[in-house]
Structure 1
Amino acid sequence: MTAPLPTGYRSLVARHWRILCFGGVLMALSSAGQTFFIALSGARIRQDFQLSDGDFGTAYAAATIASAATMAWVGRLVDTVSVRRFTMAVGLVLAGACLLLAWSPNLPVLVLSLYLLRLAGQGLMAHTAMTTIARALPADRGKAIGLAALGLALGEALFPIAAVRGIGALDWRPVWLLCAGAVLLGLALALTLARPGFGPARAMAAGQPPSGPAESALWRDPAFLRRLPILLCSPFITTAMFFHQTRLAQEKGWALGWIASWFVAYAVARAGSLVLVGPLLDRRSAAGLLPWLAMPLGLAMGVIALVGSDVAVPLYMLLFGLGAAASGVLGTALWAELYGTHRLGRIRALTEGGNVLASGLAPALTGLLIDRGVSLSTQALGLAAVVAVAGLCARDPARLLARRRSRGSGA
Structure 2
Amino acid sequence: MTYIAFLRENARWLSASYLLAVFSGFGQTFFISLSGGDLRAEFGLSHGDLGLLYMLATLGSALTLPYVGRSVDHFPVQRIAAVVITGLALFCLAMATTFSVWMIALAFYGLRLCGQGMMTHTAITAAGRWFSARRGRAVSIAVLGFPTAEALFPLCFVVLSNAFGWRGAWTVSALVLALVALPVLMMLLSRDRIPSAAEVASVKPEGRQWTRKEALSDPRFWLVSCGVNAPAFIGTTIFFHQVYLVELRGWTLELFASSFLLMATGVVCASLVIGPLIDRFSARQLLPFTLMPLTVGCFVLANYHAPAAAFIFMALVGISNGFNSTLVGAFWPEVYGTRHMGAIRSVAFSMMVFASAAGPGLIGWLIDLNVPFDRQVTGMALYCVAFIAVLTLMSRAYRSNALS
What TM-score results when the alignment is normalised by the length of structure 1? Answer: 0.88
The answer to whether structure 1 residue 331 and structure 2 residue 328 are counterparts is yes
Q: Secondary structure at the match of 2:358?
A: helix
Q: CA deviation at 1:368?
A: 2.7
Whole-angstrom CA distance in 2 between matches of 1:166 and 1:251 = 32
Is 16-25 or 388-397 further displaced after alignment? Answer: 388-397
Instruction: Judge conservation of contact 2:259–2:310 (CA < 8 Å) in 1.
Output: yes
Whole-angstrom CA distance in 2 between matches of 1:79 and 1:223 = 23
Q: 1:43 to 1:250 in 2, by over 3 A?
A: farther
Whole-angstrom CA distance in 2 between matches of 1:370 and 1:63 = 23
CA-atom RMSD, angstroms?
2.4
The answer to whether structure 1 residue 82 and structure 2 residue 76 are counterparts is yes
The equivalent residue for 1:162 is 156
The answer to whether structure 1 residue 20 and structure 2 residue 17 are counterparts is no
The answer to whether structure 1 residue 286 and structure 2 residue 288 are counterparts is no
The answer to whether structure 1 residue 97 and structure 2 residue 74 are counterparts is no
Is 361-370 or 279-288 further displaced after alignment? Answer: 361-370
Whole-angstrom CA distance in 2 between matches of 1:376 and 1:57 = 19
Whole-angstrom CA distance in 2 between matches of 1:20 and 1:374 = 46
For structure 1, the residue ranges without an aligned partner over 5 or more in a row are 1-6, 200-209
The equivalent residue for 2:228 is 231
The answer to whether structure 1 residue 348 and structure 2 residue 342 are counterparts is no
Is 314-323 or 11-20 further displaced after alignment? Answer: 314-323
Q: CA deviation at 1:198?
A: 5.1
Whole-angstrom CA distance in 2 between matches of 1:176 and 1:244 = 24
- Of 363, 367, 386, the residue aligned with 2:364 is 367
The equivalent residue for 1:207 is none
The equivalent residue for 2:377 is 380
Instruction: Judge conservation of contact 1:49–1:106 (CA < 8 Å) in 2.
Output: yes
Q: CA deviation at 1:142?
A: 0.2
- Of 152, 174, 177, the residue aligned with 1:183 is 177
The answer to whether structure 1 residue 193 and structure 2 residue 185 are counterparts is no
Is 150-159 or 66-75 further displaced after alignment? Answer: 150-159
Whole-angstrom CA distance in 2 between matches of 1:49 and 1:365 = 25
The answer to whether structure 1 residue 36 and structure 2 residue 36 are counterparts is no
Q: Secondary structure at the match of 1:258?
A: helix
Instruction: Judge conservation of contact 1:83–1:198 (CA < 8 Å) in 2.
Output: no
Q: Secondary structure at the match of 1:395?
A: helix
Instruction: Judge conservation of contact 1:164–1:260 (CA < 8 Å) in 2.
Output: no
Instruction: Judge conservation of contact 2:128–2:139 (CA < 8 Å) in 1.
Output: yes
The answer to whether structure 1 residue 8 and structure 2 residue 39 are counterparts is no
Deviations 1:304-323 (A, max 9, x none): 32333332222222111111
Q: CA deviation at 1:399?
A: 5.6
- Counterpart residue type for residue 186 of structure 1: A
Instruction: Judge conservation of contact 2:57–2:105 (CA < 8 Å) in 1.
Output: yes
- Of 393, 396, 405, the residue aligned with 2:393 is 396
Instruction: Judge conservation of contact 2:265–2:318 (CA < 8 Å) in 1.
Output: yes
Q: Secondary structure at the match of 2:192?
A: helix
Q: 1:71 to 1:198 in 2, by over 3 A?
A: farther
Is 240-249 or 109-118 further displaced after alignment? Answer: 240-249
Whole-angstrom CA distance in 2 between matches of 1:60 and 1:168 = 24
The answer to whether structure 1 residue 57 and structure 2 residue 66 are counterparts is no
Q: Secondary structure at the match of 2:305?
A: coil
Is 90-99 or 276-285 further displaced after alignment? Answer: 90-99
Whole-angstrom CA distance in 1 between matches of 2:328 and 2:392 = 15
The equivalent residue for 2:115 is 121
> Percent identical across equivalent pairs?
35
What TM-score results when the alignment is normalised by the length of structure 2? Answer: 0.89
The equivalent residue for 2:248 is 251
Whole-angstrom CA distance in 2 between matches of 1:163 and 1:250 = 26
Q: CA deviation at 1:406?
A: 4.5
- Counterpart residue type for residue 308 of structure 1: H
Whole-angstrom CA distance in 2 between matches of 1:327 and 1:31 = 18
Instruction: Judge conservation of contact 2:288–2:395 (CA < 8 Å) in 1.
Output: no
Whole-angstrom CA distance in 2 between matches of 1:168 and 1:246 = 23
Higher RCO (CA 8 Å, separation ≥ 6 residues): 1
Deviations 1:132-167 (A, max 9, x none): 111111100001110121121211112233334555
Instruction: Judge conservation of contact 1:36–1:243 (CA < 8 Å) in 2.
Output: no
Q: 1:12 to 1:386 in 2, by over 3 A?
A: same
Q: CA deviation at 1:19?
A: 0.3
